Structure formats: C-alpha cells, structure tokens
Structure 1
Amino acid sequence: MSIFTNILNKIFPPDHPANAGSGATAGAATPQQPSPATAKAAPGGASTAASAGAVQPPVTPMPVVDVEAVLAGMQSKHTEPLNWRTSIVDLLKLLGLDSSLSARKELAAELHYGGNPDDSAAMNVWLHKQVMQKLAQNGGKVPDDLKD
C-alpha cells in the first residue's frame, strides 16, 4: 500500500470514496454514458437509453472531510507537540506513519517530485504542500494557507 494511501486511510473515514481502490484520485469519477447499443430502440418502440439511465446510480458529490479539524483532533490527543501545519515529518508522526527520510523519499516518488531528493529541506516543503493539495483533490476541506 502506498504512503499516500495510508495518509488517506488515516484522515478519511473508511467509507469515503478517497479510500476506495488505490486512492490518490484527482476528482470524482465521471458517469458512464450509454453506449450506442444500449441507446437503440427496444421492442415495443421504447428506448433502452432511458431505462439504462435508471439503472445507473445518481452522481453524488464526494463527501467533504474537514482535514484541519481531523488533524487538530488527533493533535489534541497526542502527547508530543507536533507542527503538522507546516512539517511533513510532524504530519506523518501525527498520523502514526513512518516519517524517516527513506519514507519521505518514497512519498516524493509516489507524488512525482521533480527536485533533488537529497535536498531534504526543499523536498519536505514540497511534500507538505503536495499532500495538502492531494487531500483537497480527494474530498478534503483544507484551508488555503495549508495548500500554498
């Protein structure tokens, strides 16, 4: 399981769409359009496209999770003061995940970091911003100051 998927699993409830499949989605799935075969007329003149539409579940917006509230709640129960708002290391520690340099390099590779992974300071800043942006893309309500 990827490190980012583990992050999603720690922040989002188990039934949240972000936790389905591989996680790290860019947004909600688009509904399937009926194929030309299903749109042709059925016996009796009725279109099967209308009935095919009734079979598909309605598209519902992805539930929003208040990431800041979830993390603040976790922090209130944590004995060690952690600066999860700006530090990827502290964020990973708060979530109970491996915060070692090798784990952060692995996360950087997952999220397609284009910089030098040996410059850990720059990589850490980029990682924190990327994680917050990805959480927002997956249905998390993330304050703008955490994404920028």
Structure 2
Amino acid sequence: MSLFSAILNKIFPHDHPANTTAGSTAPPATPAGSAPAAATVPTGTPSTPSAAAAPASQPSNTPMPTVDVEAVLARMQEGSGERLNWRTSIVDLLKVLGLDSSLDARKQLASELHYTGNTQDSAAMNVWLHREVMLKLAENGGKVPDDLKN
C-alpha cells in the first residue's frame, strides 16, 4: 500500500470512495436493460446513434461525501497526547496519523505525488509535501480549510 493510500485510510471512513478502487475514476456500469431506447428510424433511412443518447453514458454527478479533515486531525492529535504541529509540518501530520515520518518515508511520498524538486532539500520537499497532501485530500472529498492548502 502506498503511503498516500495509508493517509487516506487514516482520515476517511473505510467505505468512502477515496478508499475504494470502485470509487476512483471509472464511470459507473450501466445496469442491464437500462440502455436508452433507440429512436424510431423511418424505413430506408440509415441508422445512426442519437445525439440525445450521449448524456446517458456520462458518469453521474453525485457529489462525493465530504470529510472534515481539520476536525478528524484535531481529534487524532488530542488522542495522541503529543504537541504536534500537523497544520504546517508534514512530519507532525504523519505522526498524528501514526505513520512513518522518516526521511525515507517522506521521499517515498514525494515520489508517489510526483515531486519534481530536489529530495536532498528536505525543507523545500516537506513544505511541498504538506501542501500537496492537503490539496489531494481536498480533491478526494476532504473539507480542508484554505489556509492548509497554501
């Protein structure tokens, strides 16, 4: 399991689409018998798919359930008994989640999230990682305050 997947698993409920492969990017399957009815075509007219049928194959616009990331992390920190600054530190964020916060683990996370900077500059990488994790949490249905995404 990737480190980012572990982060999602710690913050989102297990049945949340961010934690399920079915809820990723694949459009939902069309149930049998639910295909749009074919348009009546007069005899002698070539049969072509109707433009009206196209929207029926679009994925549904059902909103993803929202998880209050700040509240979840605040509760986890209270339970940890440690004074951690997860709001700005990727190391402390990983510690709050009970995950490996070592430099090697952070380099792995940087690779997963496609960091293009120098991983030897751990300060710059850490700042980027924290912002990127918060942005990715928001993309996956997390309610993340704007000050945590900058």
Q: 1:80, CA displacement in angstroms?
A: 1.1
Output the CA distance in 2 between the equivalents of 1:22 and 1:93.
29
Q: 1:125, CA displacement in angstroms?
A: 0.3
2:8: which partner in 1?
Answer: 8
1:46: which partner in 2?
Answer: none
SS in 2 for 1:82: coil
Output the CA distance in 1 between the equivalents of 2:59 and 2:88.
40
Larger radius of gyration: 2
Change (3 A) 1:57 1:131: closer
Output the CA distance in 1 between the equivalents of 2:84 and 2:22.
28
Q: 1:69, CA displacement in angstroms?
A: 0.3
Output the CA distance in 2 between the equivalents of 1:22 and 1:109.
24
TM-score, length basis structure 1:
0.79
1:71: which partner in 2?
Answer: 73
Answer yes or no: is the 8 Å Cα contact 1:68–1:143 preserved in 2. yes
1:108: which partner in 2?
Answer: 110
Stretches of structure 2 lacking an aligned partner (at least 5 in a row): 40-51
Q: 1:22, CA displacement in angstroms?
A: 8.8
1:34-113 correspondence to structure 2 within 5 Å: 38-39=35-36, 41=38, 59-113=61-115
The one-character-per-residue Cα deviations of 1:12-34 (angstroms, maximum 9, x if unpaired) are 000100001298x6xx665678x
Output the CA distance in 2 between the equivalents of 1:41 and 1:61.
30
Output the CA distance in 2 between the equivalents of 1:144 and 1:62.
19
Output the CA distance in 1 between the equivalents of 2:94 and 2:86.
8
Q: 1:41, CA displacement in angstroms?
A: 3.0
Q: 1:78, CA displacement in angstroms?
A: 1.0
Q: 1:60, CA displacement in angstroms?
A: 1.9
